[in-house]
Structure 1
Amino acid sequence: GSGFSRKTRHLFDACAALGVSARYLPFDVSAETLMEAGARLTRDYEWLRVHALVGDYLAGLGHVSPPAGPGLVVFLGSTIGNFEHRQALGFLREVQALAGAQGWLLLGADRVKAPHVLHAAYNDARGYTARFNRNVLRVINRELGADFDPDAFHHYAPYDPARMQIDMYLVGARAQRIRFGALDRVLAMGEGEPIHTEVSRKFTREGLESLLGEAGFAVEQHHEPDDARYSLILARSDPVRRNAEIPSSGDDP
């Protein structure tokens, strides 16, 4: 989500320099974070109108009112890579509909790299990614009254060059039974049994531009560093380019 909107401040600084006011709709699952961020933003940018939205952007975009004029949807970082192709296409089409016929999208994405580089990033020696991965079990314990033992799972994150995708798993180190108090259910897991926790897709330049075209966007600017490790794309809404059908999950590349 938008978090504390630190990166978005660069856009507000540009608006201030141009003498342009704006309405900002930050989207995040944390109401507390949104309230704190909104208070700081309206203090620092008195002309800024903030309408915070609590929810999941996969399900919540339908509750956002389209702007009266051309809008800009900002989706930075590389979260688009956490969607399967069908999900990403559906999400971007919702964004295109929200932005409107004259709207814009600013999209960040991670690019394909050498397999050893990606392996080192998702299996770092200090164990940051492993702790991040296991944290999902702590969240489930808290929200569903479960009794997962995070230390009873190994972090496993292989990269598949053919699919240009990292798949993250938690693999049971031993046989165990997990209780879910909120669901009144018990899950039996065997030693070596995996839980698939996340996908992280990587993109080529051509693949990103093709995806945006399918979703109804035309790329206006495509920025990348000299090593092409990531992309920052400014695209305008172009409904004529949008295909009529979203492929089934079996058609995902």
Structure 2
Amino acid sequence: MEAAVVLREQPEIRELFEVLEGNGLKKERQEVESLMNYLEGMESQFGEVIKELKEVRGQLEQIQDRGIKATAARLLDSAEGKVQEIGGQIALVKTNLVRSAKNAVQEFKEKGVGALRKAMSAMKIPTVLSALKESLHSGMESMERNAAKIGIVGGDLNRAAQHTKNAGRALIGRRIKEPAEPKGDKGILAKVQKAFLSFGRSFAAMEKAADNAQKRMEQFCRGEGKKPSVKAELKQIKSGRNAGQKMQPAREQAR
């Protein structure tokens, strides 16, 4: 991700905001603002994920069993690939947002407000957020699967170690112990599993933030010049009626 790029400081974004405000396009400005705030909010979270990935990579070097180390390394490679995929998608959205802002301003200067509206609509910001949500949800599921697989490897390792101990105890006639519980964060594999679960929670939080950004856009669009709560209730109560019946209360409110 291009962490150095602060969207609100880009001249293309600042000029777009000036143009939108000057022409009363509040909904369009709100959409850009919501997407921009969301992307900037993800920077620190993604930075933490990348930092933790590097730490986990270092911990894998301490694993003695080559087979287990190879399995853990493959799972970590998969996790890194998913992080890079989503990070690249977010970086592309940022780049496209700046480019689209520049194009929208240019359209306005050449063709007027109508062209500006079309250019803003072409950004399809709600659709962009939906795509990001899908990728983040996929990332969360991927991390949870990796955590489960690491848990299986750790469980097998623990049982194998206990079996070896029991073989020795049987030779000297001592009672065989029941399998011991894993030692949590003290084991390297347990730390790796914990990291995968942490990555999954981070992706889930980012997905939730994208969903909240979408909802804020919808609320703003519904509420621009109207009462959103009333309109929402009318949609629910009169969902089975025709369009003309739905619009009647709104006209009565306007009077």
Higher strand share: 1
Decide which structure has the larger Cα Rg and report it: 2
Higher helix share: 2
TM-score normalized by structure 2?
0.23
